[in-house]
């Protein structure tokens, strides 16, 4: 039996249920453990949930909560991968002789391999997103904040930022586990149902956006549990849902286009590092370089559009078979 199958293994309805189950498993893991749950005191109007403010409260940035959640999402990610394996193993025949096939088929669909070109690791797919952020990078250059510049230090900008407890969550465990679950696992399940690549790109990331909505509860509690706090929680959740979904479109494209989970992971880490572009603030901070900043943003957008397809083209990728590939006209799942 081959690692690719001639017919879809599951129905679209089953794919929806499995993807929602994967999302629920990941987000639910944040609340199963007592140590991972956030805690609010009654009567608290407003303030930090993580510092010595006189209240027995623990927000999502509390070190103990972060540590517990890192363990929780790591376990959940492994279970989600096993869930995809279970779907494949069950539908090709739950027989021990098919164990090796199911394992290899799962690893293939999860993109747990580096992409290669001419016997070297292909770095171009990892550079597409940094190109898009050429404008913010130029603004950082103006502020002397890039490596080697006057306001950049190894201790503050690397050691403390990336290897402290919050850095482990924001730049390592978070991006890696989220991409494996919400990109590799969710999209592989939809692919097993015969979903088109366009449906996977534009519908699959909705679960990723929904997975961030639960932060609204902490926002509501942090800012006073009143009407103003509710409005703040709603608007912040809408904004977070919007930009995480938009990023999900791009990350899904990178995953399907390359057949590897690593370009989405590096893109996620890079975006978390740079943050949401703040063009208006940058223009106010550097008024003498307004034209240069705008040009840098336009260069980044144009470069991103120009490089997106050629730099992400990957041979022997069943998710996105190229013209001339015999699989291009014959779907495999």
Per-residue confidence (pLDDT) for residue 56, from 0 to 100:
54
pTM (2 decimals)? 0.90
Residue of 57, 62, 126, 178 with catalytic role: 178
For residue 41, the model assigns a pLDDT of 66
Show me where the domains of the chain are located.
12-320
Catalytic entry in 16, 44, 91, 212: 212
The confidence score (pLDDT) of residue 241 equals: 85
Tokens coding 172: 């390592």
Does the active-site annotation cover 212? Answer: yes
Which sign, positive or negative, has the C-alpha torsion 312, 78, 198, 203?
negative
Q: Does the active-site annotation cover 44?
A: no
pLDDT for the residue 212: 79
Each of the 333 residues of the chain gets a pLDDT tens digit; together they read: 478 888 899 999 999 999 999 999 999 999 998 888 887 765 444 444 444 444 457 788 899 999 999 999 999 999 999 999 999 999 888 788 889 889 999 999 999 876 554 444 589 999 999 999 999 999 999 999 999 999 999 999 999 999 999 999 999 999 999 999 999 999 999 999 999 999 999 988 888 878 878 888 888 877 878 888 888 888 988 888 888 999 999 999 999 999 999 999 999 999 999 999 999 999 999 999 999 999 999 999 999 999 999 999 988 888 997 654 444 445 678
Structural tokens at position 222: 């942090």
Taking the mean position of all CA atoms in its chain, how far away is CA 166?
17
Ordered alpha helix ranges (H), the chain: 12-32, 63-91, 99-109, 128-132, 134-142, 154, 161-163, 165-167, 174-179, 186-192, 197-203, 206-210, 215-222, 227-258, 262-274, 279-285, 290-312
Predicted confidence at residue 53, as pLDDT, reads 41
């Amino acid at each position: 039996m081959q690692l690719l199958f001639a017919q879809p293994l599951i129905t679209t309805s089953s794919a929806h249920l499995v993807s929602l189950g994967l999302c629920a498993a990941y987000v639910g893991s944040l609340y199963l453990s007592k140590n991972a749950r956030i805690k609010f005191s009654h009567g608290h109007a407003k303030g930090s949930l993580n510092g010595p403010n006189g209240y027995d409260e623990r927000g999502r940035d509390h070190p103990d909560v972060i540590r517990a959640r890192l363990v929780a999402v790591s376990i959940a990610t492994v279970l989600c991968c096993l869930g995809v394996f279970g779907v494949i193993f069950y539908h090709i025949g739950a027989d021990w002789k098919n164990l090796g096939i199911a394992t290899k088929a799962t690893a293939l669909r999860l993109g747990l391999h580096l992409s290669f070109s001419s016997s070297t690791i292909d770095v171009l797919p990892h550079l597409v997103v940094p190109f898009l952020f050429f404008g913010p990078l130029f603004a950082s250059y103006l502020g002397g904040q890039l490596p080697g510049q006057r306001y950049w230090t190894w201790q503050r900008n690397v050691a403390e930022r990336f290897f402290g407890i919050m850095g482990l969550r924001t730049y390592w465990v978070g991006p890696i586990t989220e991409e494996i679950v919400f990109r590799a696992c969710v999209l592989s399940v939809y692919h097993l149902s015969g979903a088109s690549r366009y449906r996977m790109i534009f519908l699959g990331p909705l679960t990723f956006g929904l997975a961030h909505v639960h932060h609204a509860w902490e926002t509501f509690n942090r800012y006073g549990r009143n009407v103003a706090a509710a409005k703040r929680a709603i608007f912040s959740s809408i904004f977070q849902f919007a930009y995480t979904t938009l990023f999900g479109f791009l990350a899904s494209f990178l995953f399907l286009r390359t057949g590897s989970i690593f370009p989405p992971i590096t893109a996620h880490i890079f975006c978390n590092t740079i943050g949401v572009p703040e063009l208006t603030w940058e223009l106010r901070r550097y008024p003498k370089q307004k034209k240069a900043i705008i040009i840098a943003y336009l260069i980044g957008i144009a470069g991103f559009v120009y490089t997106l397809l050629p730099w992400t083209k990957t041979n022997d990728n069943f998710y996105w078979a190229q013209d001339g590939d015999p699989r291009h006209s014959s779907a495999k799942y």
